[in-house]
Amino acid sequence: MISFIPTPIGNRADITLRAIDVLKNADLIACEDTRHSRPLLLHHDIDRPLISLHDHNEVQRIGELITKAKQGLLIAAISDAGMPLISDPGYKLLQACIEEDIPYTVLPGPSAVITALAGSGFPCHSFRFDGFLPVKKGKRRKSLEDAIESDATAMFFESPHRIISTMEILAEINPNVKVCVARELSKKFETYHRDTAENLLSQFQNKKPKGEIVILIDGASVR
């Protein structure tokens, strides 16, 4: 059995009782970064063998993990924060479970995407999540244009180093589109910045936001 388990996106208390129970009983925990996960696990009195599973070694690790699962070991897979597979490692491992007929389960729990959507105040009945925005400006502009044209609330992860550049592009496309920049969710300095693209650009030019960021775009606001 392989269990895919979400971990807190910031506040260590945001972990389910079931997740703690599965992790404590796992024979092996596959972590995106063992150095990052160990303090969280020890905080919850979880001391199990760890193995790395990240974007650069997932293909190589799959055979080893599938073999161990076939031998009857209970394996837990976690990413650094939030739900594995969602812009994090785990997709290839889950696909291997399906192909090799290995029992697996996905536990519910913390997700930056759903948390940002709920806290944004934007329409939640229809939404789309397109992962990280492209680094290249041309591709990023195309993604943002598509988001503004969409009838659904659009969400992206973005680096704080590119947030001003991204807001400049949004303001060029449509200065009046409503945008929410959700940052440091569940952490001490959690903030939701809601305004038009033009006003947020001006705000961020005066004080650049830091930390982990989710951008939400309400394309319906300019219909």
Task: Output the pLDDT for position 161.
Answer: 92
Task: Output the pLDDT for position 220.
Answer: 82
- Give the DSSP H or E segment for 98: helix 91-100
Task: Output the pLDDT for position 20.
Answer: 97
Task: Output the pLDDT for position 56.
Answer: 87
Q: Is the dihedral of CA 146, 151, 152, 158 positive or negative?
A: positive
Task: Output the pLDDT for position 222.
Answer: 76
- Expressed in angstroms, the distance from the first to the final Cα of the chain is 48
Q: What is the per-residue DSSP string for 128-158?
A: EEEEEPPSSHHHHHHHHHHHHH-SSEEEEEE
Task: Output the pLDDT for position 198.
Answer: 96
Distance of CA 60 to the CA centre of its chain: 23
Task: Output the pLDDT for position 55.
Answer: 83
Hey, what domains does the chain have and what are their CATH numbers? 2-106 (3.40.1010.10), 112-222 (3.30.950.10)
Task: Output the pLDDT for position 200.
Answer: 96
pTM: 0.88
In one-letter notation, the amino acid at residue 161 is: H
Distances (CA, A) of 101 to 59, 66, 70, 223: 18, 10, 9, 48
> Per-residue pLDDT for the chain (223 aa), expressed as one digit of tens each?
999 999 999 999 999 999 999 999 999 999 999 998 999 999 999 999 999 998 888 888 899 999 999 999 999 999 999 999 888 888 999 999 999 999 999 999 999 999 999 999 999 999 999 999 999 999 999 999 999 998 899 999 999 999 999 999 999 999 999 999 999 999 999 999 999 999 999 999 998 888 999 999 998 887 7
Task: Output the pLDDT for position 30.
Answer: 96
